[in-house]
Structure 1
Amino acid sequence: MHKHYFILFLLLLLSLNSWAQNNQMLSGTVLAESGMPVPGATVFVKGSYVGSSTNEEGQFELPKVNFGNPPVVLVVSFVGYESQEISLSQPDNAIQVILKPSAMLDQVVVAASRVEENIGQVPVTVEKLDQRQVEQITTPDIVAGLGRFKGIDVSSSSLLTSSFSTRGFNSSRSERVIQLADYMDTSIPSLSSNFGNLLGTPILDVGSVEIVHGPASALYGANAFNGVLLTNSKDPFKDPGLTVRLRAGNRNMLDGQLRYAVKLGERVAFKISGGAVQADDFLADNQDPTARIIEPGNNPAGSNLGYDAVSRYGDVGNTFTTGALAGKTVFLPGFSERELVTAGDNKTHSYKVVPSLSVLLTNSIKATLDYKYCEATTTYQSASRYRFVNSGAHQGRVQVEGRNWFVRGFATRDFSGGRDPQTDGAYNLGILGGLLQTQLAPGFTVPNGTGGTRPGTYAERYFGTYNAVYNQTFAANGGNADAAALTARTAANTNAPLLQPGTPEFDAARNALIHSTATTADGQALGARNILRSYMYDGSGQYTFNTKVVDLTLGAAYRQYQLGSDGTLFSDAKEGDRIQNYEYGAYGQAKKALLDERLQLAVAARLDRFQNFETAFSPRASVVYSAGGDKQHNFRASYSRAFRAPTQNDQYIRLDIGRAILVGNIGNGFQGYNTAVAAQLPGILAPGRTADLATYEYQSSALKLEEVNSIEVGYRAQLGKYAYLDLDYFHNNYNNFIATQNFIGNLDGSRPSAAQIGAAATGRFQNPALPTRVIQIATNVDQTVRSQGAGLTLGYRFSPALTVNTNYSYNDLVTETFKPGTQSFFNTPKHKFNLGVDGVVLGRKLSYNLNYRWADSYLYESTFATGTLPVAQTLDAQLGYLISPLHTTVQVGGTNILDATNFQVYGAPSMGRLVYAGLLFDIK
């Protein structure tokens, strides 16, 4: 045995010695067509991680290049220029490389097929942003700036919290797309949602961004339903150096970003990147009435009965069944978003740090170990508005990769402050407002039903006063309802006031509720606090076989969730076990090039298995034909089937938001009645009328996977030397479409009696323990839903001083009629376009970019609020001047610089003007 080890060790030494003997020096210069040196260009040996970057004079050195198996191919690249490949049969120390301005079809992408391919021959619609385009984004968060590109819609809940979508069904949660940073999912496990780029790649470390439009489940699995966003970070071996960006602007914005990468010898590289940004956040102030599909008994704006406004919290209602108010709903005055956020403190911030260590195990095998910590204070909108204070996530990754394979594992853990803190955390503004109304009013009592009294709440005092005065006034003035309502409201506000913001009593109650750890007997939270303590574990691997017959890619992945919220979000209990959930799958892709590589054929398929759902099969077939002498005209067509697994929230949520309780739907389904039954309660509850209930019956089965079948055709071309064109059209058919449904039912899933419905309508806010509630679930719509759309991108480079880009997007929900109470959440403008110009002048010292965005008015639906967003027109701009000796660029710019109305989510604030000035310091 020892002899065998000795022989193995000797062979290893001999191979290392042979490798060392073949090491040779390579050096040279990289120039632009003008003859000017190109600093910062990367020079690498193809198929390996051996390489470097050019200095200020455009010079490079590669001290240890293995010529044991010539030729050696050098790949030279720089943003904005065509990559060059130089084949060397022997060492050369006088290499000269001339880079030419790049054409769009020279870009290489990996997201569309999970292997490198030229963008012209990609079988689906894909957008790629290089470092220059990333640097032109003027928003603090990179995701918020993606709306300037074709077919991409952005939803911003607040200044630092945005999500994206493609091809319709946009939302602040982006549950129909996946967002990846170096192929790691950046979603927060507890929320099944991304907080913009919070868990993504730090902005200065972004090498490129790729957006795949349309279904991609065949390669990415669950929820790669309408698209994929992949951010690729910079390699510390290829891009060492120091970059620092400092900016300050209006809204008290301060923004500092850093990236430092260094090679520690030839085999080890280290980098650290991250940053911090803080500003005054935008606050929502929408006083429109909440839509009746969400609050069926709502009154119109200005009603003296009160009404539930979109951006008021705690304006809960009570439906009266007796007296002059029978059948009417009275709403409490609520609290504004500013009043519920401590002392009007609308500060928002985001902090992130990402250290990373890379080791070359061989010239072509690299191991990477990195860790990511991010933390933020921000506002997020989903079923309600949520305030997250010092909340965030940890993420760690281990990866080993070669030229055509990888093995990767990563884990994510989210948090919302400490577990039981008194100074930070997360809370639900809707629940907080409602609970503030049910605090005990000093000195006020109500009958306890047994001949005694009990302490009464502010809401009971207000409703009681309102009811008594209304009945008295109504009788005294001959039945004038308007006069009675005005008098009653004035009396209730004066004689039965609610908690007043800014008072010690209000502040004490608010602070107690957002930090409350009280629970029900079954462990469900009673306060407004949201606790995030979930884990997500993910492991995957892939190998590509390149043969003369076909290129075959095989891969597999496994994911496990461990969901924990201490009963504040999920159906788990405080101190109870986390909810376990898993999914796994395997995929394969075969690609074949024919006709001198002009015809590209590809098929892919994936099989996925879930803990709570049936097995899913996702195929994709595509064809690309390249015409023209330089293959500059590319025609593509594809068919895809993809699926969407219900989010973790859809499966396990249990969240009482006052007007309704949100419940997961993976059990045996639900029976109940449509919410329209509430308006008929006085008649239905009358003797002998209960048979009318059958008209309003509702029933839902447990959730199933949603499926889309999509066809796409497109044309991508380089028209001449300087023009670029990309056209696409798609048509989608959705089956088992997942939507939300509100109904009145029992929490155990059974259908309530007429008496239970009546008790729920009159006591739903005073007694949350009632078994009958307005319930909101995710459910499958029993109809085929169809959508279609098209997109156009056109760019022309007149000169380095002027490039013009424009794009137009069309999206249409073909299906117009849904079942009563169902919301489609299409949430996408039918027409949208962007016009941008950029360039460099004064010997490339002065750079500029300008972008104008126009989006049509459209209906925005959500479980929180539904309404029409107005037309949006915004103008973004940035100007930079390079001071070469100092390696510093002076930057000024801004987003929505004309401060135009810019609503992206109904119920969220308008994203107004943000302008800044700063410095970018960059040493390669």
Structure 2
Amino acid sequence: MKQLVSIIAFLCTTFLFSQTKVTGKVVDLNNDPIPANVTVEGGSTGVVADFDGNFTLITQQTPPFNIVVTSIGFSSKTFEITANNQNILVQLEEEHTQLDEIVLSASRTPERVFESPVSVERMGIKQIKNTASVSFYDGLENFKGVDLNTNSLTFKSVNTRGFATFANTRFVQLIDGMDNASPALNFVLGNLLGMNELDVASVELLPGASSALYGANAFNGILFMRSKSPFDDQGISAYVKGGVTSQKAAGTNEYYDMGIRLAKAFNNKIAVKANFSYLSGTDWYANSEMDLDMPGADRSNPAYNGLNVYGDEVSTTLNFDELAGLPTGTLGADVVSRTGYNETDLMNYNAESMKADVAVHYRPFADDLEIIGVYKIGSGNTIYQGSNRYALNNFLMEQYKLEIKNDNFFVRGYMTTEDAGDSYDSRFAAININRSWKGDTQWFTDYAEAYIAGRLGVGTGVLLDYQAAHDMARQSADAGRLLPGTDAFKGAFNQVINDPDLATGAKFQDKTKLHHVDANYNFTHLTKKFAEIQIGGSFRQYKLNSMGTIFTDYDGAITYKEYGAYTQIQKKLLEDRLKVTASGRFDKSELFDGFFSPRLSLGYTLGKEGNHNLRASVQTGFRNPTTQDLYIGLNAGSAILVGSAPDNLDRYTTTNTLSFSGQGITGQTEATVSGRDVYENAFSYRSVVEGMPVAANVDLVKPEQVTALELGYRGKIKSIMVDVSGYYNKYQDFISTETVLVPLYGVVGDNTYSLLALQNGDYQAFQGYTNSAVDINSYGVNAGIETKLFKDYDFDINYTYSEFDFDESEDPDFRPSFNTPKHKVKASIGNENLFKNVGFKVSWRWSDAYFWQASFADGDVPAFHVVDAQINYGIDFLNSSFKLGATNIGGNEYYQAIGTGRIGSMYYLSWTIKP
């Protein structure tokens, strides 16, 4: 028995003393602590270092053995343990991947992309340098889930998750916290008032609703661009980029872009910077002559209405039998349109962009408290396609900002002003050039008389057939017409585009202003042990001043205000593996009831090495009607656009001249209708077309809402980075427009005079802003992978699926304008160091065919694919890099919207000098 006890005691002692204890600390190269995983190599024993990087590992293995230390974002390290109670210091080197990049936008606080509670795309200095696109802004089109629709060479519209137009009021773009949108138009004009690429520190994009933190218009997505600090990035840098654009319609034209950045910190308290850039080129010509009303017809069609031909929208029905006093059915009746002018005869295709900014940064106590004053200006020539095609010439936007901030808070106020300069509407330019030469009534009279004479052989004895008579009638009515290139045409053109009265001119006037103040305080330094908490708020005032050319501000500027407040709480649980984020924001416009938009998101990190992250979020978002939805009063030619703010309904009135005859009396009278009639006395356009007129049921516009659900996964599987997300959006009160016909006399429903007005053509077409009653859903998937091929080649590929649905029978007049392909694939391959100081990148994009629906025109956009490429060479002793690049290699011209110019190729060489 004594022997047995001795054996048991010996075995227990051996077992106890066979345990090995290892202690240590894990830090990065800056000696900052890292919460890392510490495991025994080849075994399952392991511990997690605490927040300060300290760990204690106890194992039954006896030395010598190895331990492996890993952490997301760092290269793993293996240590040999040679003795019990060994204490070690582990330094891990950063392993740079896209998942480890730090983003600020998703939660208004720094966090790794890996742990972001929602989908986020990021472009840093490295990606900007290596993009295969001609500029960093163009490079956004390589993000997964992103549509970058080309309006013109200098105006590209960013959108995510569908429902895009060039007037993309569902997407927000911020530069250093300032809304970059035009105050009057309520959407971003690409990078017109954007950033010099030398000053870009990072670009982040959040697809989908972000109202819980960023307010009303962050509905479909939000883009953040942040500039470099003059304290951190000093010196003089510059670039010059030259090349050509090539398009079948426009030919080969010179293109150049240049910029400079100057930054200086005079001491640790004050620093300044200045940026300037200038771009010039020839825009993509839009020259489609497709007949919108009769596809396949040519210009011999009496009612021809060409896509990029303007002025032919003016049309009427000529009853030749009635005009000639002949029995019905002898010559019949036809719709006849005036002869239009091609866009290429009316548009300024000289694309220009000038951007400049100056900033002063002051740190009064030489710490993190900073006061920043900024002035930005952007001007240029571009083309905007809305209800018509607009030449934005010498368009000017300015911003003034004062901001106070430190690591825990910011307060900023800024003002945005704009001046439309010499901008004009190309459609009305054509219409009024025609009218300045010959009025509509006289032209149609001349046409009718010539047609009747031709068909009856009057004066010639030769009876012309239908088409020959129409050709002769147009030739007769157009005799002496102003022809492009002549002095008479140039004189009429210049007179029209400088006249802001759309009855006689086409000038586009605007001097609208926006004032905005927002603030945020992050209490995390006080509440860190409990949770990360922040609060914030904003105030915004619009001052609409188009002098009656866009809005109904005939008697002075129109002002209205919006304000909001939000809070967010973020907490990590379960050994920091579970991250819970709850946000909520309340917004109020003086024109509408307030709206509360909450967001709840969960992120869970799993796997032994913490290489996998699952995320889920649900949030609601909303979008206030835009300035145009509320206060526009614009005759767009085919219809009059009228905003539906309650105080706008009686602002807009239009007077039409009626001709009458009967009982030996012939004469004219005038009839006046207002914006109120759109909502209270109008016929549904669809019902009239279908031959069964009924009253339109158009309600005043109110904010639209969305409930968005997103699920996603990010992770590292061996050497492959994976990011997959799926979303489902459910919309309510979707803002839309409805076309109605207002009778010039009678009351809709009286079944007498109002129907007679329709029969006689005595009505006015209006487009009113309202909400669809139908439920609309959209859903999709974004998936992307990144990896290294052959050790040195960066490769990534992503796929996007987008779809929507709604019950058309519930709202047959609703035009969804989803405007995005169902399938998109994008891929790139590159190597920063192919040889010493030599790198390259090739990007490829493919887009499925889709249907484009917008106020300008509808139609199918064919599938297309594009290849961009660049090769770069660095010369160290010159602090220079050279890039030779080309976009749309192969020249397969394509377009992304009906009515725009086809996109050709660009070839360029750039030289960049940095300190």
Task: Indicate the TM-score class for this superposition, using the shorter chain for normalisation.
Answer: 0.7 to 0.9
Task: String of CA shifts for 1:734-760, please: whole Å, max 9, x gaps.
Answer: 110112221212699975987678778
What secondary structure does 2:353 align onto? strand
Higher CA-based Rg = 2
Residue number in structure 2 paired with 1:355: 358
Letter in 2 for 1:557: S
Spell out the pairing of 1:188-207 with structure 2 (5 A cutoff). Answer: 188-207=182-201
Q: Say which of 857, 860, 868 aligns to 2:860.
A: 868
What secondary structure does 1:361 align onto? coil
Superposed displacement of residue 509, structure 1: 1.2
Q: Is the 8 A contact 2:255 2:281 kept in 1?
A: yes
Q: Is the 8 A contact 1:277 1:350 kept in 2?
A: yes
Indicate whether 1:108 and 2:102 are aligned: yes
Residue number in structure 2 paired with 1:532: 510
Task: String of CA shifts for 1:561-607, please: whole Å, max 9, x gaps.
Answer: 1011111111112xx32110211000011111001111001111110
Superposed displacement of residue 492, structure 1: 2.1
Residue segments in structure 1 that go unaligned for 5+ positions in a row: 1-31, 34-42, 47-69, 72-80, 85-95, 293-297, 418-424, 442-456, 681-691, 765-771
Q: Say which of 631, 645, 651 aligns to 2:624.
A: 645
Residue number in structure 1 paired with 2:487: 504
1-structure distance, mates of 2:705, 2:746: 26
2-structure distance, mates of 1:511, 1:163: 30
Q: What's the % identity of the aligned pairs?
A: 29
2-structure distance, mates of 1:203, 1:481: 68
Indicate whether 1:545 and 2:515 are aligned: no
Spell out the pairing of 1:328-477 with structure 2 (5 A cutoff). Answer: 328-341=334-347, 345-362=348-365, 363-417=367-421, 425-441=422-438, 457=439, 459-474=440-455
Q: Say which of 281, 297, 322 aligns to 1:279.
A: 281
Distance 1:189 1:141, change over 3 A: farther
Spell out the pairing of 1:550-629 with structure 2 (5 A cutoff). Answer: 550-573=531-554, 576-629=555-608
Letter in 2 for 1:512: Q
Spell out the pairing of 1:769-780 with structure 2 (5 A cutoff). Answer: 772-780=763-771
2-structure distance, mates of 1:821, 1:307: 25
Letter in 2 for 1:703: V
Residue number in structure 1 paired with 2:700: 702
Residue number in structure 2 paired with 1:675: 685
User: What CA RMSD, in Å, does the superposition of the two structures yield over aligned residues?
Assistant: 3.0
Indicate whether 1:742 and 2:745 are aligned: no
Q: Is the 8 A contact 2:748 2:754 kept in 1?
A: no
Please report the TM-score for the alignment, with normalisation by the length of structure 2: 0.81
Distance 1:757 1:864, change over 3 A: farther
Superposed displacement of residue 804, structure 1: 0.4
What secondary structure does 1:133 align onto? helix
Question: Alignment length, in residue pairs?
Answer: 781
Indicate whether 1:712 and 2:710 are aligned: yes
Distance 1:827 1:150, change over 3 A: same
2-structure distance, mates of 1:347, 1:873: 27
Residue number in structure 1 paired with 2:472: 490
What secondary structure does 2:423 align onto? strand
Residue number in structure 1 paired with 2:10: none
What secondary structure does 2:183 align onto? coil
2-structure distance, mates of 1:44, 1:409: 38
2-structure distance, mates of 1:584, 1:318: 46
Distance 1:634 1:387, change over 3 A: same
1-structure distance, mates of 2:363, 2:351: 40
Q: Is the 8 A contact 1:320 1:762 kept in 2?
A: no
Residue number in structure 2 paired with 1:449: none
Residue number in structure 1 paired with 2:68: none
1-structure distance, mates of 2:755, 2:281: 47
Spell out the pairing of 1:234-273 with structure 2 (5 A cutoff). Answer: 234-250=228-244, 251-273=253-275
Task: String of CA shifts for 1:753-776, please: whole Å, max 9, x gaps.
Answer: 876787789889xxxxxxx42111
Superposed displacement of residue 152, structure 1: 0.3
Letter in 2 for 1:179: Q
Letter in 1 for 2:139: G
Distance 1:323 1:678, change over 3 A: farther
Q: Is the 8 A contact 2:103 2:113 kept in 1?
A: yes
2-structure distance, mates of 1:273, 1:749: 61
Q: Is the 8 A contact 1:800 1:839 kept in 2?
A: no
1-structure distance, mates of 2:744, 2:583: 43
Indicate whether 1:183 and 2:177 are aligned: yes
Distance 1:601 1:188, change over 3 A: same
Residue number in structure 2 paired with 1:151: 145
Residue number in structure 2 paired with 1:808: 799
Please report the TM-score for the alignment, with normalisation by the length of structure 1: 0.80
Distance 1:412 1:495, change over 3 A: closer
Letter in 2 for 1:266: N
Q: Is the 8 A contact 1:500 1:506 kept in 2?
A: yes
Residue number in structure 2 paired with 1:855: 847
1-structure distance, mates of 2:340, 2:130: 42
1-structure distance, mates of 2:736, 2:318: 32
Spell out the pairing of 1:20-31 with structure 2 (5 A cutoff). Answer: none
Letter in 2 for 1:103: T
Superposed displacement of residue 330, structure 1: 1.0
1-structure distance, mates of 2:227, 2:470: 63
1-structure distance, mates of 2:746, 2:258: 52
Distance 1:383 1:361, change over 3 A: same
Which is worse superposed, 321-330 or 789-798?
A: 321-330
Distance 1:619 1:481, change over 3 A: farther
2-structure distance, mates of 1:776, 1:435: 22
1-structure distance, mates of 2:183, 2:159: 19
Q: Is the 8 A contact 1:746 1:752 kept in 2?
A: no
Q: Is the 8 A contact 2:432 2:503 kept in 1?
A: no
Residue number in structure 1 paired with 2:725: 728
Superposed displacement of residue 428, structure 1: 0.5
Q: Is the 8 A contact 2:354 2:380 kept in 1?
A: yes
Superposed displacement of residue 619, structure 1: 0.8
1-structure distance, mates of 2:409, 2:75: 23
1-structure distance, mates of 2:352, 2:579: 47
Residue number in structure 1 paired with 2:663: none
2-structure distance, mates of 1:462, 1:244: 57
2-structure distance, mates of 1:653, 1:562: 13
What secondary structure does 1:435 align onto? helix
Q: Say which of 777, 785, 788 aligns to 1:794.
A: 785
2-structure distance, mates of 1:761, 1:266: 78
Residue number in structure 2 paired with 1:29: none
Letter in 1 for 2:776: V
2-structure distance, mates of 1:398, 1:750: 55
Superposed displacement of residue 146, structure 1: 1.5
What secondary structure does 2:449 align onto? helix
Superposed displacement of residue 462, structure 1: 3.1
Task: String of CA shifts for 1:364-409, please: whole Å, max 9, x gaps.
Answer: 1111111101101111111111001111201011111111110011
Distance 1:876 1:747, change over 3 A: farther
Distance 1:887 1:439, change over 3 A: same
2-structure distance, mates of 1:643, 1:749: 39
Residue segments in structure 2 that go unaligned for 5+ positions in a row: 1-27, 34-51, 54-72, 77-89, 245-252, 322-330, 647-675
